[in-house]
Amino acid sequence: MKFEGSLDGKGLRVALVVGRFNAFVTNRLREGAVDCLTRHGVCEDDIDEILVPGAFEIPQAASAAVSSGRYGGVLCLGAVIRGATPHFDFVAGECVRGVSRLAAGSSVPVGLGVLTTDTVEQAVERAGSKSGNKGWDAALAVLEMASVLKHVRGD
Protein backbone atom coordinates (compact mmCIF):
# COMPACT_ATOMS: atom_id res chain seq x y z
CA MET A 1 0.00 0.00 0.00
CA LYS A 2 1.22 3.50 -0.80
CA PHE A 3 0.30 6.53 1.30
CA GLU A 4 0.71 9.95 -0.25
CA GLY A 5 -0.54 13.26 1.08
CA SER A 6 -2.40 16.02 -0.65
CA LEU A 7 -2.10 19.75 -0.13
CA ASP A 8 -5.78 20.32 0.66
CA GLY A 9 -5.99 22.30 3.89
CA LYS A 10 -9.77 22.57 4.03
CA GLY A 11 -10.93 22.15 7.63
CA LEU A 12 -7.39 22.14 9.05
CA ARG A 13 -6.64 24.31 12.10
CA VAL A 14 -3.00 25.42 12.28
CA ALA A 15 -0.90 27.11 14.95
CA LEU A 16 1.98 29.29 13.81
CA VAL A 17 4.62 29.63 16.51
CA VAL A 18 6.68 32.67 15.52
CA GLY A 19 9.83 33.97 17.18
CA ARG A 20 9.83 37.77 17.40
CA PHE A 21 13.64 38.06 17.44
CA ASN A 22 14.79 39.08 13.94
CA ALA A 23 11.20 40.14 13.21
CA PHE A 24 12.22 41.71 9.90
CA VAL A 25 12.79 38.11 8.75
CA THR A 26 10.22 36.18 10.78
CA ASN A 27 7.37 38.47 9.71
CA ARG A 28 8.14 37.58 6.10
CA LEU A 29 8.24 33.87 6.96
CA ARG A 30 4.86 34.24 8.69
CA GLU A 31 3.39 36.05 5.67
CA GLY A 32 4.64 33.28 3.36
CA ALA A 33 3.18 30.57 5.59
CA VAL A 34 -0.22 32.27 5.87
CA ASP A 35 -0.29 32.84 2.11
CA CYS A 36 0.48 29.18 1.46
CA LEU A 37 -2.07 27.89 3.96
CA THR A 38 -4.91 30.09 2.72
CA ARG A 39 -4.16 29.35 -0.94
CA HIS A 40 -4.47 25.66 -0.10
CA GLY A 41 -7.84 25.93 1.60
CA VAL A 42 -7.08 26.73 5.25
CA CYS A 43 -9.53 29.35 6.47
CA GLU A 44 -7.77 32.42 7.88
CA ASP A 45 -9.89 32.08 11.04
CA ASP A 46 -8.34 28.62 11.53
CA ILE A 47 -4.80 30.02 11.73
CA ASP A 48 -3.68 31.04 15.22
CA GLU A 49 -0.43 32.92 15.75
CA ILE A 50 1.56 32.30 18.91
CA LEU A 51 4.31 34.88 19.27
CA VAL A 52 7.33 34.05 21.41
CA PRO A 53 10.47 36.08 22.22
CA GLY A 54 12.86 34.09 20.03
CA ALA A 55 13.89 30.76 18.57
CA PHE A 56 14.85 29.23 21.91
CA GLU A 57 11.24 29.54 23.13
CA ILE A 58 9.68 28.04 19.99
CA PRO A 59 9.78 24.36 21.07
CA GLN A 60 8.03 25.05 24.39
CA ALA A 61 5.19 27.01 22.78
CA ALA A 62 4.90 24.46 19.96
CA SER A 63 4.66 21.69 22.54
CA ALA A 64 1.83 23.53 24.31
CA ALA A 65 0.03 23.93 20.97
CA VAL A 66 0.39 20.21 20.17
CA SER A 67 -0.74 19.22 23.69
CA SER A 68 -3.81 21.44 23.49
CA GLY A 69 -5.45 19.11 20.97
CA ARG A 70 -6.79 22.16 19.11
CA TYR A 71 -4.57 21.94 16.04
CA GLY A 72 -4.17 19.65 13.06
CA GLY A 73 -0.74 21.16 12.40
CA VAL A 74 1.84 23.30 14.15
CA LEU A 75 4.31 25.41 12.21
CA CYS A 76 7.48 26.77 13.84
CA LEU A 77 8.96 29.93 12.31
CA GLY A 78 12.07 31.76 13.44
CA ALA A 79 15.45 33.12 12.42
CA VAL A 80 18.81 32.63 14.08
CA ILE A 81 21.59 34.60 12.40
CA ARG A 82 25.21 33.84 13.26
CA GLY A 83 27.05 36.50 15.23
CA ALA A 84 30.57 36.78 16.58
CA THR A 85 29.94 34.47 19.56
CA PRO A 86 29.00 30.79 19.96
CA HIS A 87 25.50 31.85 21.10
CA PHE A 88 24.22 31.01 17.58
CA ASP A 89 25.23 27.36 17.90
CA PHE A 90 23.44 26.91 21.21
CA VAL A 91 20.22 28.68 20.26
CA ALA A 92 19.94 27.19 16.76
CA GLY A 93 20.84 23.71 17.95
CA GLU A 94 18.44 23.67 20.90
CA CYS A 95 15.59 25.11 18.85
CA VAL A 96 15.95 22.52 16.09
CA ARG A 97 16.49 19.68 18.58
CA GLY A 98 13.39 20.70 20.54
CA VAL A 99 11.19 20.95 17.45
CA SER A 100 12.59 17.67 16.16
CA ARG A 101 11.85 15.84 19.41
CA LEU A 102 8.35 17.26 19.46
CA ALA A 103 7.66 16.21 15.88
CA ALA A 104 9.00 12.70 16.40
CA GLY A 105 6.75 12.11 19.40
CA SER A 106 3.60 13.72 18.07
CA SER A 107 0.66 12.58 16.00
CA VAL A 108 0.25 16.24 14.94
CA PRO A 109 2.52 17.36 12.11
CA VAL A 110 5.10 19.89 13.27
CA GLY A 111 6.79 21.97 10.57
CA LEU A 112 10.25 23.47 10.86
CA GLY A 113 10.57 26.90 9.28
CA VAL A 114 13.41 28.17 11.45
CA LEU A 115 16.23 29.72 9.46
CA THR A 116 19.78 29.22 10.69
CA THR A 117 21.99 31.43 8.54
CA ASP A 118 25.46 32.91 8.62
CA THR A 119 24.38 36.36 7.43
CA VAL A 120 21.42 38.71 7.36
CA GLU A 121 21.53 38.56 3.57
CA GLN A 122 21.10 34.78 3.60
CA ALA A 123 18.14 35.09 5.97
CA VAL A 124 16.46 37.71 3.78
CA GLU A 125 17.05 35.55 0.68
CA ARG A 126 15.24 32.63 2.35
CA ALA A 127 12.38 34.77 3.61
CA GLY A 128 10.93 35.76 0.28
CA SER A 129 13.57 36.89 -2.17
CA LYS A 130 16.12 34.83 -4.18
CA SER A 131 15.64 31.48 -2.45
CA GLY A 132 11.86 31.57 -2.13
CA ASN A 133 10.12 31.71 1.23
CA LYS A 134 10.93 28.96 3.71
CA GLY A 135 7.77 29.84 5.67
CA TRP A 136 5.78 28.85 2.57
CA ASP A 137 7.83 25.65 2.20
CA ALA A 138 7.33 24.66 5.85
CA ALA A 139 3.58 25.29 5.53
CA LEU A 140 3.44 22.98 2.50
CA ALA A 141 5.17 20.28 4.52
CA VAL A 142 2.60 20.62 7.34
CA LEU A 143 -0.28 20.39 4.86
CA GLU A 144 1.14 17.28 3.23
CA MET A 145 2.01 15.60 6.53
CA ALA A 146 -1.45 16.29 7.94
CA SER A 147 -2.89 14.43 4.96
CA VAL A 148 -0.31 11.59 5.09
CA LEU A 149 -0.85 11.00 8.81
CA LYS A 150 -4.62 10.91 8.27
CA HIS A 151 -4.19 8.19 5.64
CA VAL A 152 -1.76 6.19 7.76
CA ARG A 153 -4.07 6.34 10.81
CA GLY A 154 -7.10 5.51 8.67
CA ASP A 155 -9.01 8.67 9.67
Residues taking part in catalysis: 87
Residue pair 33/16 in contact by the 8 Å Cβ criterion: yes
Q: How far apart are CA 55 and CA 6, in angstroms?
A: 29
Contact of 127 with 79, CB cutoff 8 Å: yes
CA nearest neighbour of 18 among 36, 30, 31: 30
Tell me the CB-side half-sphere exposure of residue 51, using CA atoms within 13 A. 7
Burial degree of 72 (CB within 10 A; 0-12, 13-18, 19+): buried
